[in-house]
Structure 1
Amino acid sequence: MKEINLKIVTPERIVFSEKISQVSLSTTTGQITILPQHIPLVSQLTAGEISVKYNGNEEDLMAISGGFVEVLPDQVVVLVDTAERAEEIDEQKAEQARQRAEEILKTKVVDAKEFAFLTAQIEKELVRLKVARKYKKRGIRTGLNS
């Protein structure tokens, strides 16, 4: 089966760099799945889940906060603000962060800029929770190579 190189990069580190059979991610126009020999593409990413599949049908999950993806015939590069592997996410801390942001929105008058920031924070934490819970429920493989 054909493979494609996937690299996921944040300002702090290379989170993932490995050959895969497919990757699914959330763009501003919807969910896309990229396979080997995909047409070239550049797209903006939203906060969401990245699902990476390997030839053996194993799957890895990650949560991202948004960024860009560049697709070339033999390589996919994902540039994001933050990316966490499912096994790195602390579910309790993500829930607490979501609750804090929601509480500020309920109790404090905020300007449009702060409202947008808090809304994005809530969305990011909800994605982290979704990925962590899915990982826990499915027992998705660990040990991603970087």
Structure 2
Amino acid sequence: MNNQELQLNIISPEKKLFSGAVTSVVIPGISGLFGVYANHAPLVSPMTAGVITYTTAGKEETIEVKGGVAEVNQNVVTICVS
């Protein structure tokens, strides 16, 4: 992982949906979409139903979710989805 990347972990109660280095993540927060990039300030946010979009190796991927909680801390984004 270089200084422009962050670690993204997306988990559900059943399984791990994604784990790897990404350059950006767009998360459906309850107040609207928000983006997370390397060196983002720490935060915890509830999520609404929507689509998580992340970019890895120049390729954009998406995961549809019903809601959950996102935590950002020291270049690690952990998203627990339902």
- TM-score where L is the length of structure 1: 0.53
Identity of aligned residues (%): 32
Gaps of 5+ in 1: 82-146
Gaps of 5+ in 2: none
Aligned-pair Cα RMSD in Å: 1.0
In the other structure, the counterpart of 2:31 is 29
In the other structure, the counterpart of 2:56 is 54
Q: Deviations over 1:33-73 (max 9, x none)?
A: 000100000000000001111242x1001100101000012
**Which of structures 1 and 2 has the larger relative contact order (alpha carbons within 8 angstroms, sep 6+)?**
2
Give the aligned length.
80
Q: Which has the higher strand share?
A: 2
Secondary structure, aligned partner of 1:2:
coil
Q: State how 1:77-88 maps to structure 2 within 5 Å.
A: 77-81=78-82
Q: Which has the higher helix share?
A: 1
- TM-score where L is the length of structure 2: 0.92
Secondary structure, aligned partner of 2:39:
coil
Q: Which of residues 4, 7, 12 in structure 1 aligns to 2:6?
A: 4
Q: Which 4+ residue blocks in structure 1 deviate beyond 2 angstroms?
A: none
Larger radius of gyration: 1
